[in-house]
Structure 1
Amino acid sequence: MHTEASLTADLRRLGVTKAMTLLVHASLRSVGLVQGGSRTLLSALREAVGPDGTLVVPTFTTGNSLTSPAYLRSTRGLTRHQLLSYRENMEPFSPASTPSDGMGRLAEEVRVTPAAVRSGHPQTSFAALGPLAARITSGHALDCLLGERSPLGRLYEEEAYVLLLGVGFEVCSAFHLSECRQPGQVRRRYDCRVMTEDGPRWTAFLDVDHDDSDFGDLGRWLEASVPAGRGPLDRGRIGAADSRLFPLRWAVDTASRWFAAGRGAEADRA
């Protein structure tokens, strides 16, 4: 059984250091049996980065949308009247209370920690703990899901690291910042339900039409571009979880070449 001490030791062997700013995507199940579950994993992460470090997790609420897979599954086959009723009874987003959707138990553990700060985006919020938490999560613009005016932009500025803990590049949200930086990005309308002082309201905005369907291919290309043992990407195990640690700025800048070449085109030439 994994303990806080053993997980902290694993994190340090991988390269997590004191005062690091760390964006974490995690699968607790992949870690194996942990004494104390997600709370212990969070304690290990906080111990590894120390009091001067900052932990950040995605706390997305992707179901809060009229176009998400979750919404489409739930409304398939409804009559017009049923659809209108469903929409008006959807839970509105509140940063203080709305659970994340499909982000894993660690993300929820961070979100409900009393000292955590959460950005206010109704679809792509992030939660953070540490001295930079307020700076990283503040000013998350409604029409900037995952771009420069989102926490990803602040993480880039702070030279944060990404920890993929038991998950693959398919869920690496940092790649979306590279995606947003490409010229001529297709934009589309997003609709979401939010809680206001006057009660639940629908709001709409235009932003990049994000696509993560090929992030696995991007990650494999990124990893192949790094000489074994001589690049900025470190790989090891946290508990039983195959994990990767790398600088967010390096990943974003390098991935931008892949996007600029026509997404998979450069990978095909490699």
Structure 2
Amino acid sequence: MDEKDLLRRSGGPVTQERLARELRELGLGTGDTVMFHTGMSALGWVAGGTQAVIGALLDVVGARGTLMVACGWNDALSYDFPTWPRSWQDAVRAHHPAYHPDFSEADHANGRLPEALRRRPGAVRSRHPDASFAALGAAAHDLMADHPWDHPHGPGSPLARLVEAGGKVLLLGAPLDSLTLLHHAEALADAPGKRFVEFEQPITVGGKRVWRRFRDIDSSGGAFDYSGVVPPDVEWPFTAIARDMLAAGIGTRGATGAATSHLFDAGAVTRFGVTWMETRLGGGARTGTGSPART
């Protein structure tokens, strides 16, 4: 879609001032701590691009507020790299750069905003190489500190701290399946068949490159088998959970530029997600039991 099409679809240029006004109408306010996911192309033609989006969010939450994004690491090694040919493994172990919160690029699959935000002066990024987050604002250090090496979506994680802080989640033109906070619900849910992964990544510790082994829910392949509890036409189960959440009156919906956006209370998302998973999948198994899945 070219710029003229974007302009026409959005009713003209989407400015920082316009975005700020529409975000306030959606329910975002001064002092809020908000994790956001953005579909830039859905918004229309944004004058100023990613910096205008970040600027609008900062205008709304103010000096007492905090912005948070899911970063990941664009150069994180595949979980299955130990199955690669031995010569490839040896080269990777000898030369693959270590993850560093200050320098390692955010996963491109998460869009342009995470990388733009983590580069902002004053931004803080968490230490986990596979599930890193970044934050900017008053609560940034508290949200990002001591990200657990194992189970990085569970208790003590930036997601858990977002909930504890009474934070919000904004899908700014982003699809419902991008509701990353539901991985925190997966980590907490007491339901059978929970799937785990174990993997290795090089990290920076005390200025030195070291290899470390990690354990997490299978956030890429799915922490549970949802095939029997979501419609067959739903590609990712978070879409079904989010739709049910909205139908239950959780979250607000509004226009931002050319897009439809959603704003949720982080605690409500987590509680609804845990209950949904335990009810649909059947409770009884304790989180963390069983053998980890290998990928």
Deviation at 1:263, TM superposition (A): 4.3
Tell me the secondary structure at the aligned position of residue 110 of structure 2.
coil
Deviation at 1:262, TM superposition (A): 3.3
Q: How many residues align?
A: 254
Are the equivalent residues in 2 in contact too, given 1:62–1:124 (CA < 8 A)?
no
Are 1:93 and 2:105 counterparts? Answer: no
- Residue 229 of structure 1 corresponds to none
In 2, the alpha carbon distance for the partners of 1:202 and 1:123 equals 13
Identity %: 30
- Residue 176 of structure 1 corresponds to 183
Are 1:128 and 2:140 counterparts? Answer: no
Are the equivalent residues in 1 in contact too, given 2:245–2:251 (CA < 8 A)?
no
- Residue 7 of structure 2 corresponds to none
Which of 180, 188, 202 is the matching residue for 2:211?
Answer: 202
In 1, the alpha carbon distance for the partners of 2:199 and 2:176 equals 25
| Letter in structure 2 aligned against 1:30 | A
- Flag structure 1 segments of 5+ consecutive residues without an equivalent: 227-231, 266-270
In 2, the alpha carbon distance for the partners of 1:65 and 1:93 equals 10
In 1, the alpha carbon distance for the partners of 2:15 and 2:181 equals 29
Are the equivalent residues in 1 in contact too, given 2:170–2:263 (CA < 8 A)?
yes
In 1, the alpha carbon distance for the partners of 2:242 and 2:85 equals 42
- Residue 237 of structure 2 corresponds to 214
In 2, the alpha carbon distance for the partners of 1:45 and 1:38 equals 11
Tell me the secondary structure at the aligned position of residue 55 of structure 1.
strand
Are the equivalent residues in 2 in contact too, given 1:147–1:153 (CA < 8 A)?
yes
- Flag structure 2 segments of 5+ consecutive residues without an equivalent: 1-12, 224-235, 284-295
Question: Are residues 186 and 92 of structure 1, via their aligned partners in 2, closer, same or farther at CA, if it must alter by over 3 Å?
Answer: same
Deviation at 1:79, TM superposition (A): 4.0
1:187-198 counterparts in 2 under 5 A?
187-197=196-206
Deviations 1:162-211 (A, max 9, x none): 00111122121110111111236443312112123463222102232332
- Residue 288 of structure 2 corresponds to none
| Letter in structure 1 aligned against 2:247 | A
Tell me the secondary structure at the aligned position of residue 170 of structure 1.
helix
Root-mean-square deviation (CA, aligned residues, Å) is: 2.3
| Structure 1 stretches of 4+ moved >6 Å | none
Are the equivalent residues in 2 in contact too, given 1:24–1:164 (CA < 8 A)?
yes
Are 1:9 and 2:21 counterparts? Answer: yes
Are the equivalent residues in 1 in contact too, given 2:185–2:270 (CA < 8 A)?
yes
Are the equivalent residues in 1 in contact too, given 2:71–2:134 (CA < 8 A)?
yes
